[in-house]
Structure 1
């Protein structure tokens, strides 16, 4: 089966950022399918050009472990206007390239994936031209995310337009993929047939955690803290990541010289977070730059625990699916979630995960594992087992493949009847 995926921000293993579609495509390729990902060459997370160093070509095809990446040359950016230009460039160029490719080899399925909806829209247009299945994957709920985080009002004309665009894609899609368990209810609330909705959360490629690829950059990060009990955070340092409470928590744990917080990543709030730590005179915290996804398993293997902080927002009533959670589980790192238990939902039932907004409770959880290494090892094994059963890409790709076969064979049967 020939599958195309349009994801502006898709990343390869050696890039910074999430590798959701690469990991999914890799498993589908192992099952005998052909998968091509149309992605921007400019990395949204590192703000670096990853492919076209000379800037002279518009496209480049690269195959990584069977997965085809059709890299689209898009302009670099920093601000909002630059990002808008980048989005338009990706939309126009990827559509033009895929339209030409479609004349030579038609896809059986096109998956159009947000964050921004234009990637999904061109997926719909091309699926219509190729007369094939179209899946709309809504990784973030646009514009609900903006509304719930207070960036725009629900009555704002921009929000109203995006809601209509969202509903249009819901109506045109053969399937709607969401990443959060309760997001299915969100889609249904828009008047969409619940049978069209698939919940396919983020996952993890467990093979990356069986053999670690040593990294000099990771070794440099751990220089001077090799003998510490390291609690790690990886990912964006932005407003939505709500990392101030993490800094505050470790300022309260400074009396124990063996405990250390490692913050790996970049974002709009990173400099401010570093300033807060400096003002407090904290010596039990290290800030490090983002690293490629391929180096994350080795980094996590050197840590003892992990931590996440979640901003209190109505958005989380639909659930969440952070890549880092499944990476932490695969590495066997107990997770401290600085969040309301009501937002965490079913994860509260997973051994090795502690969720609380109360500082004292989070302090006790860290000290408990610090003082009880046998229990840490026990819960580490349980986390690895849990993620293998529920969130490995092998399991998740099987689930998606079942839906694909249902839809493709149904379409073929309908054509024969006609």
Structure 2
């Protein structure tokens, strides 16, 4: 495969130095390692990043991160999902449209990837691709506008929703290829005008270098320049004490929001009171205080809440879990499939997973790495957890190892980046 110039447009793109969204960074880094040139275009402000790029009053910032050329375009700050976020999106798209001739001329991309979660970037991406004679790829993370319609309750006749729908339809009809993270989107995208041959599935993945047990030299560093690290003393002490007491630790690491169904886990813990179980919930989010109060009201003495830990400490945290929990609400939108990064971390850590889900796919059931139960059902969750507890420790470890092996073989970013390259390669543009 010849060396490619790849332009990756992702409004929310981050890096290990800035925080989420990580996928653009991991893919771009693997493409650079394979000898390709990669230019990432992102907005200066994103609600996902923990560290914003410092533009120092300028309208843009060019920066090299691990061989990837980033351009950060200034966009207005916002909070929440209201009008401020819409202004932020439109500002990024408008700025990208104005930058199109310069990007086409100076970087001369051979492949342009429109990947901003919302589909509005398809129009400036197509302009760049036309000016440069490049292939155009649309990447689907979430289905917009279906997500704000079904999750947010927005009307299909809202002007912004109609604009999003026009963008999705344009991408389905005019992109040379479509890459989806979600595995069950074909019927929806074909219904919006996508030709069947255009769809390629490239799910989320993990970087094996972040996991010491993978036997690979660690490649992860965060903004402090530190490699994979241990836990805060209080948290490591808690996990050590629970293990010394012979308690089985059911853990969760991530956001504490409504969508994460942690209230269902607490109700299941109440049903299993008296068992030698402890529940450790690590993270932050809008529902954390309410969950604290719910656990107290239920008298759950063996539920422990802890602050978030840095990404580099996740391997050490998950090593202290015996069973890892991931829950979802019953939501029709999940019929198109799920691709949670948290689950990949659990699997990579070798944790058997307790999964409460109803979706178009279930990676836990498909790989046999844990127990899957119906969502929003404390009794079903308690029964699934009891099934895992009935297994001897060696059998539970074997479940976890099955998940870890699957991720290493199929869902590592070196594997996924190569799969994505087959979509971008010039010889396959019009296949």
TM-score (structure 1 length as normaliser): 0.87
1:257-276 equivalent positions in 2, closer than 5 A = 258-266=277-285, 268-276=286-294
Is the 8 Å Cα contact of residues 39 and 68 (structure 2) preserved in structure 1? yes
Shift of 1:364: 4.2
1:16-415 equivalent positions in 2, closer than 5 A = 16-45=19-48, 49-52=51-54, 55-79=56-80, 80-97=82-99, 99-149=101-151, 151-154=153-156, 156=158, 158-210=160-212, 211=218, 213-215=227-229, 218-228=232-242, 229-256=248-275, 258-266=277-285, 268-340=286-358, 343-345=360-362, 347-357=364-374, 358-370=377-389, 372-405=392-425, 408-409=426-427
The superposition leaves residues 326-347 of structure 1 with CA deviations (integer Å, 9 ceiling, x where unpaired) of: 111111111111123x644464
Shift of 1:319: 0.9
The superposition leaves residues 223-242 of structure 1 with CA deviations (integer Å, 9 ceiling, x where unpaired) of: 43333343332333333333
Is the 8 Å Cα contact of residues 371 and 388 (structure 2) preserved in structure 1? no
In the other structure, the counterpart of 1:12 is: 15
Shift of 1:365: 3.9
Q: Distance in 2 between matches of 1:232 and 1:15?
A: 26
Q: Distance in 1 between matches of 2:231 and 2:88?
A: 30
The superposition leaves residues 103-129 of structure 1 with CA deviations (integer Å, 9 ceiling, x where unpaired) of: 222111111113222333322222122
Per the alignment, in what secondary structure is the counterpart of residue 312 of structure 2? helix
Q: Distance in 1 between matches of 2:135 and 2:73?
A: 23
Shift of 1:258: 4.4
Shift of 1:94: 4.2
Is the 8 Å Cα contact of residues 115 and 142 (structure 1) preserved in structure 2? yes
Aligned residues: 407
Distance 1:293 1:191, change over 3 A: same
Shift of 1:98: 5.4
Shift of 1:373: 1.5
Distance 1:35 1:285, change over 3 A: farther
Deviates more, 1:88-97 or 1:315-324: 88-97
Distance 1:161 1:183, change over 3 A: same
Per the alignment, in what secondary structure is the counterpart of residue 224 of structure 1? helix
Distance 1:246 1:108, change over 3 A: same
Deviates more, 1:26-35 or 1:209-218: 209-218
Q: Distance in 2 between matches of 1:88 and 1:159?
A: 13
Q: Distance in 2 between matches of 1:164 and 1:318?
A: 20
Shift of 1:385: 0.9
Distance 1:346 1:380, change over 3 A: closer
Q: Distance in 2 between matches of 1:86 and 1:8?
A: 10
Shift of 1:133: 0.8
Distance 1:41 1:233, change over 3 A: farther
Deviates more, 1:387-396 or 1:68-77: 68-77
The superposition leaves residues 152-177 of structure 1 with CA deviations (integer Å, 9 ceiling, x where unpaired) of: 24455544443222101111211111
TM-score (structure 2 length as normaliser): 0.85
For structure 1, the 5+ residue unaligned runs are none
Shift of 1:251: 3.2
Q: Distance in 2 between matches of 1:207 and 1:100?
A: 36
Per the alignment, in what secondary structure is the counterpart of residue 167 of structure 2? helix
Distance 1:313 1:391, change over 3 A: same
